[in-house]
Amino acid sequence: MVPTPYHHGSLRDFLLSEGRQLLVEEGPQAVTLRGLAKRAGVSHSAPVRHFKDRDALLDAIAAEGFDELATALSAAEQQEDLHSRLSGYARAHVRFALENAALMDLMFSGLPRAGDSAAAQAAARFFAQGATMLGEDGHSRPGPLPFLLAGTLEGISSLASTGRLARDQVDEVTETAVTLLLPAIREQLDRRGRSSD
């Protein structure tokens, strides 16, 4: 077996996917540039060609995470009635978080270092998607509901993935959140629907 040369960008892909896997399976302290280089069979300074530093790699992983999360949620958004749509969205969010705890942590609790980073842009797309589902047009400044929905789901996810909220109670808490948010969201959607102002 000839060792793969990792030319033409394939090292970049390796760093991203292996880094992501290490992050989720062993935690953030396990993703090191030197360790990844060793796994790739490449010199310890090779990764720098593709990611300026460790933070740049983590930023790229976070960006992928936001895109993946958005994809995981988009199925729910196709649901016909509002309750199913919201409920499916919420459950998909929490499920993704439970399966990718350390990744979600990186995505949501990592202070965005630059507004124009890949992660910051992917995050903006993710939040815009949620706002759209709640009838925000994207022109004017979003109201409180998109933030409240995103925050609530993030909080429930965090409690669940740190084990503070028991697995068998996650669905109940999520559904309670949806039930309490639903009337306010419905009212907002009705209002926006009526006047196209």
Partner DNA sequence: ACCTGAACACCGTTCAAGT
| 147 in contact with its own copies (CB under 8 A) | yes
Residue 114 partner contact from DNA, its own copies, none using kind-dependent CB cut-offs of 5 to 8 Å: none
How far apart CA 117 and CA 123 sit, in angstroms, is 10
Q: What share of the chain is helix, strand, coil (3-state, %, to 5)?
A: 75, 0, 25
- Which of 13, 26, 34, 166 touches DNA by CB under 7 A? 34
Residue 193 partner contact from its own copies, DNA, none using kind-dependent CB cut-offs of 5 to 8 Å: none
- Which of 58, 69, 73, 152 touches its own copies by CB under 8 A? 152
CB contact at 8 A, 173 and 94? no
- Which of 15, 57, 61, 181 touches its own copies by CB under 8 A? 181
Footprint on residues 39-58 left by DNA (CB under 7 A): 42-46, 48-50, 52-55
How far apart CA 56 and CA 129 sit, in angstroms, is 25
Residues 6+ apart with CB under 8 A from 47: 11, 15, 33, 36, 37, 40, 57
CB contact at 8 A, 86 and 185? yes
| 148 in contact with its own copies (CB under 8 A) | yes
Residues lying near its own copies in the complex (CB under 8 A): 27, 101, 105, 108-112, 123, 127, 144-145, 147-148, 150-156, 158-159, 161-165, 169, 172-173, 176-177, 180-181, 184
